């Protein structure tokens, strides 16, 4: 499916020290939708909202299920590698297929 290929592309753009949650295929599909909807304009807040939608079905008691503005700075920073990866993937998609 086309969203899975975009999700895989986003994963491939993550920095080496990023540690995606286990069993996060559905999360990365949501990130793929963000890529299609916002592309390079995606924000950390967008990523947090997507993560929250996913986490609500995984662990509805998670401490970070609050609006982005209410997160501590170190928790906000956890979204940045995913924002960077989505933006990088959006650039690759915009540039066309890779050879």
pLDDT bin (cut points 50, 70, 90) of residue 98 is low
Q: What is the pLDDT of residues 20-58, one digit of tens each?
A: 998 999 999 999 999 999 999 999 999 999 999 999 999
pTM of this structure: 0.93
Q: pLDDT at residue 99 above 60?
A: no
CA dist list (Å): 21 to 2, 13, 54, 93: 22, 16, 11, 24
Whole-number percent of the chain with pLDDT over 70 = 97
Q: What is the mean pLDDT of the chain?
A: 95
Q: Which of 55, 57, 54, 47 is nearest to 79 (CA)?
A: 47
């Amino acid at each position: 499916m086309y969203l899975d290929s975009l999700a895989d592309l986003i994963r491939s753009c993550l920095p080496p020290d990023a540690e995606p949650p286990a069993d996060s295929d559905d999360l990365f599909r949501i990130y793929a939708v963000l890529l299609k909807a916002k592309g390079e304009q995606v924000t950390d807040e967008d990523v947090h909202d997507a993560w929250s939608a996913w986490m609500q079905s995984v662990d509805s008691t998670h401490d970070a299920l609050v609006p982005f503005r209410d997160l501590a700075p170190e928790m906000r920073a956890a979204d940045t590698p995913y924002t960077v990866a989505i933006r990088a993937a959006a650039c690759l998609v915009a540039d066309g297929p890779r050879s």
